[in-house]
Chain A
């Protein structure tokens, strides 16, 4: 079964750091670009970051640029999001999603992990 499973969310104080992980299974991980998308509870979706298949190219939303770093370990089939200098407005559910070149869309989504930034 094709699957993405996020972990690493939790409660962190403003200014703190957290690293999210997204474990993939059921497909050739190293062949796909991957994205992070977040959602404030009860609100809409916001694209956060993407990384290409070999990890050599990354892109970020302006709101997280310089604070968040996306990376991947293709040997471990795992995607990461290192989040530093966290702010209250980063509080959200964070989803990892697979980009399919065939479909031209995000065809597989994880269940999400919740990040709460609060003192």
Chain B
């Protein structure tokens, strides 16, 4: 199985400051069809996961521009340019290139 190494596992950020989450794998996530199926999901407290970013860097509908994804191959990053109160929750990277699909352990984002 593809292990998604996500860091940090927790982050306390001051309102308005940036936040960054890393997700790394040992195996490339480039699919044979040329796409890289690396997504970022947000899970607010008591809520189901929600798609934020798909295929590394694409914003899902309704996701604020302060969220951005980047990376390639085995190394990926989610950045929040200015953290807002509603961003509190757990963030997961997920790969859907190789079966079984796997998730990172999650990064808990708290506001200072």
Q: Contact flags (1/0) for B72-112 with A, using CB distance below 8 Å? A: 00000000000000000000101010011111111000000
Counting chain A residues whose Cβ lies within 8 A of the other chain, the interface size class is 20 to 34
B10 to A: closest C-beta gap in Å:
13
Complex-state Cα separation, A99 to B99, whole angstroms: 14
CA distance A37 to B14 in the complex (A): 32
Judged by a CB distance under 8 angstroms, whether B48 is at the interface is: yes
Q: Which of A35, A50, A111 contacts B48 (CB 8 A)?
A: A111
Task: Give bound CA distance, A109 to B103, whole Å.
Answer: 15
Closest chain A residue to B95, Cβ basis: A47
B37 CB contacts on chain A under 8 angstroms: 104-105
Instruction: Please determine whether B51 and A106 come into contact, CB atoms closer than 8 angstroms.
Output: yes
Whether a CB of chain B sits under 8 angstroms from the CB of A62 is yes
With an 8 A cutoff between CB atoms, is A110 at the interface?
Answer: yes
Bits for B42-58, please: 1 = Cβ < 8 Å to A, else 0. 00000011110011001
| Contact of A11 with B by CB under 8 A | no
Q: How many A-B residue pairs have CB under 8 A?
A: 62
Q: Is B39 an interface position by the 8 A CB rule?
A: yes
What 1/0 mask marks residues of chain A from 68 to 108 whose CB sits below 8 Å from any chain B CB? 00000000000000000000000000010101000111110
The reply to whether A59 and B99 form a contact with Cβ atoms under 8 Å apart is yes
Most buried by B among A46, A61, A103: A103
Residues of A whose CB lies within 8 Å of any CB of B are 35, 37, 44-47, 50, 59, 61-62, 95, 97, 99, 103-107, 109-112
**Interface positions of B (Cβ within 8 A of A):** 35, 37, 39, 41, 48-51, 54-55, 58, 60, 92, 94, 96, 99-106
Q: Which 5 A-B pairs have the closest CB atoms?
A: A105-B54, A47-B101, A105-B39, A109-B48, A45-B103
- Would you give 19 A-B contacts (Cβ < 8 Å), ordered by A? A35-B101, A45-B92, A45-B103, A45-B106, A47-B102, A59-B100, A99-B96, A104-B54, A104-B55, A105-B39, A105-B51, A105-B54, A105-B55, A105-B96, A106-B41, A106-B49, A107-B54, A109-B49, A109-B51
